[in-house]
Structure 1
Amino acid sequence: MTELRADFSKREVVRPDDYEWVPSPAPGVERMMLDRIGDEVARATSIVRYAPESRFDAHLHDKGEEFIVLEGVFSDESGDYPVGSYVRNPPGSRHAPYTEEGATILVKLRQFAPDDLIQKAVDTRNAQFVPGQVPGLSVLPLHNHGTEKVAIVRWQPGTRFQGHRHWGGEEIFVLDGTFQDEHGDYPKGTWLRSPHLSFHDPFSEEGCLIYVKTGHLPA
């Protein structure tokens, strides 16, 4: 069994300079593995890069699939998902994904609660953000189930959030700009995973756009 960054009590950071692409079983499809427990069928968080006119065989999501399109247009039999699309395919769903022009996605596999059965696709580029808890912060809620919350958060330049602890952990992917906290700077393409009850004091000097998931890691 492959285990990569599988200790959820540890803080993990992967920046674009750390990327190591490995081939998948499908021609033209490569993966940058962020965390993984299992072999080809695995609980996994990955960045997946599809070359133009590549495809993956039809497969079942027995424990769900969640992805956001980072580049290009990703497609399946349900439609086309341009950059910025956020999609949840619940346990028991099935698809055969492909791309004509090429695409890169951030995908999380086999991480749904068994009763989280909502299927959704959100065009985040055209969705309505709401004001956040501090000036300069705006939020696009994407999904809530139990303690898990998923959102995209926009930080205007110079925005600072109050220091806080992460009950159930926090996972961030920087979609644009540079996110920061007392531990360092995180440019576009950085993935962070902070464990249950970890603390940080986040801010962004230049502004940023981040995908955030909270409340989903082991207590």
Structure 2
Amino acid sequence: MTQDSSDVQILNVDEVEPVEVVPGIIRRRLPATDWARGWMYDFAPGTEWPEVDVHEGEERYYVISGEFIDRGQRLGPGSYVVFAPGSTHRPRTETGARMLGISILTP
């Protein structure tokens, strides 16, 4: 289901076309605005983000399922992480995991 108007966009995330980042990591680009971008990421068991992720602006993610290991912390469902501009990280998973990532844009 997709609904779009000038002030709201509604969709089923699993209907968004998946794009392989690297083998085992899938990204779905969600609708964006001038102020924020969002993605759904699915990591297969034993995968790691391909390089250190450097944040130009504020970035955050919410763990939906599975477990990520990021900056030495084990992050399970319900974990919410906020990164300041200029920060870095490289998430990985042993179990497989799904996250919603959001980048805040500076106008």
Could you say which TM-score interval applies, normalised by the shorter chain?
0.7 to 0.9
1:19 is displaced (CA, Å) by 3.0
Q: What is the match of residue 66 of structure 1?
A: 60
Displacement of 1:32 in angstroms is: 1.4
Return the index of the structure with the highest Cα Rg.
1
Work out the CA distance in 2 between the residues paired with 1:22 and 1:95. Answer: 21
Runs of 4+ in 1 over 6 A off after TM superposition: none
In structure 1, list runs of 5 or more residues that go unmatched: 1-7, 38-42, 114-217
CA pair 17-50 structure 1, distance change in 2 beyond 3 A: closer
Residue 112 of structure 1 and its aligned partner are, at CA, apart by: 5.6
Structure 1 position 14 matched with structure 2 position 7? no
What do residues 32-64 of structure 1 show as CA deviations (whole Å, max 9, x unaligned)? 111248xxxxx6201100000111111211102
**Normalising to structure 2: TM-score of the pair?**
0.81
Distance 1:22 1:54 in 2: 16
Q: Could you say what secondary structure the match of 2:102 adopts?
A: strand
Q: CA RMSD in A?
A: 2.3
The equivalent residue for 1:23 is 20
Are positions 1:76 and 2:70 aligned together? yes
Within a 5 Å distance, the mapping from 1:7-156 to structure 2 comes to 9-16=6-13, 18-24=15-21, 26-36=22-32, 44-56=37-49, 57-109=51-103, 111=104
Whether contact under 8 Å (1:90, 1:112) holds in the other structure is: no
Question: CA–CA distance in 2 between the matches of 1:16 and 1:105?
Answer: 12
Specify which structure has the bigger relative contact order, considering alpha-carbon pairs within 8 angstroms and separated by 6 or more residues.
2
Residues 16 and 96 from structure 1, CA distance in 2 versus in 1: closer, same or farther, beyond 3 angstroms? closer
Contact 1:91 1:112 in 2 (8 A): no
- Helix, strand or coil for the counterpart of 2:67? strand
CA distance 1:95–1:20, change in 2 (3 Å): same
What are the ranges of 5 or more consecutive residues in structure 2 without an aligned counterpart?
A: none
- TM-score of the superposed pair, with normalisation by structure 1: 0.42
